Amino acid sequence: MLEIPTEGKKYSKSHFERQTRRLEQDALRMGALVEHSSWLAHTALFDRDLEAAMKIEAQDKHIDQFYRQIEVDCMNLIALQSPVSRDLRLLTALIHLVRDLERIGDYAENLGEIAIKLFPYSIPTYMDKIEVMSNRCRAMLALSLSALSNLDAELGLQIKEKDDAVDSDYVDLYNLIANPKNPALNQESSLEPAMLSVLTIHHLERMADHATNVGQRVAYIITGKRH
């Protein structure tokens, strides 16, 4: 939690720098939890591991706690210190960045719930293609956290290029799942797996979008340019 100065005094420069470094570290800790939730969701979906799915909800509560605390601490630093230039960009970008991470965590939790609902059914023939999409998304999240850890603008901007492949996966998979020749659509009892599969690729596509946002926000911190 942020150390609030007494009697309305501002932080010294060194103290302010310590606080911003701590916020960066907290965002990375939050990101590590989100990355683990994404791995749990992946394991639940593709290894049919119900135990992994059950772990996500509790972890998401820790992610939410990080999100709320980082947001409050950033706002307090802005209000108390009136930072300018890169310091202000860092704090405002962190506010938005942790929101992106929190949303990725939410989608991971949703995927865990989908895995539980899919468990009684046989594995759809297109599940291997969804797994490829999931691996792309997890790789994008890892890159975005690496960009944040190193404050690497170039790496942050590279993530957008990888998002194109995920978008292509989404279109191809949607067309495959929704194809009238898909056996899952020809039997009423099997409609749920197809519907859940469409939700799965939607959540993955959104996770990739938020990972892209994280990379672009890191680039903004360094360059001051919105991409």
pLDDT in tens, 93-116: 999 999 999 999 999 999 999 999
pLDDT per position as a tens digit, 132-160: 999 999 999 999 999 999 999 999 999 99
The pair of structure tokens assigned to 176 is: 């495959």
Distance from C-alpha of 192 to C-alpha of 195, rounded to nearest angstrom: 5
Distance from C-alpha of 42 to C-alpha of 53, rounded to nearest angstrom: 9
Among candidate residues 196, 4, 27, the one with its CA nearest the CA of residue 117: 196
Check residue 1 and give its pLDDT.
56
Residues 6+ apart with CB under 8 A from 13: none
Q: How many CB atoms lie within 10 A of CB 88?
A: 14
CB 75 within 8 A of CB 85: no
Residues 6+ apart with CB under 8 A from 118: 45, 193, 196
Quote the DSSP letter at residue 151.
T
Distance from C-alpha of 167 to C-alpha of 159, rounded to nearest angstrom: 13
Whether 2 has a pLDDT exceeding 80, the answer reads no
Whether 10 has a pLDDT exceeding 90, the answer reads no
With cut-offs at 50, 70 and 90, classify the pLDDT of residue 8: very low
Whether 3 has a pLDDT exceeding 60, the answer reads no
Where in the chain are the domains? 10-223
Q: What is the mean pLDDT of the chain?
A: 90
Residues 50-57, mean pLDDT to the nearest whole number = 95
Domain 10-223 in CATH 1.20.58.220: yes
Check residue 189 and give its pLDDT.
58
Q: What is the torsional sign of CA 101, 107, 111, 117?
A: positive
Using the structure block, give the residue that is written with the tokens 């939890």. Answer: 33
Check residue 16 and give its pLDDT.
81
Among candidate residues 120, 105, 115, 124, the one with its CA nearest the CA of residue 29: 105
3-state helix, strand, coil in the chain (%, to 5): 85, 0, 15
Using the structure block, give the residue that is written with the tokens 């293609």. Answer: 129
| pTM, full prediction | 0.90
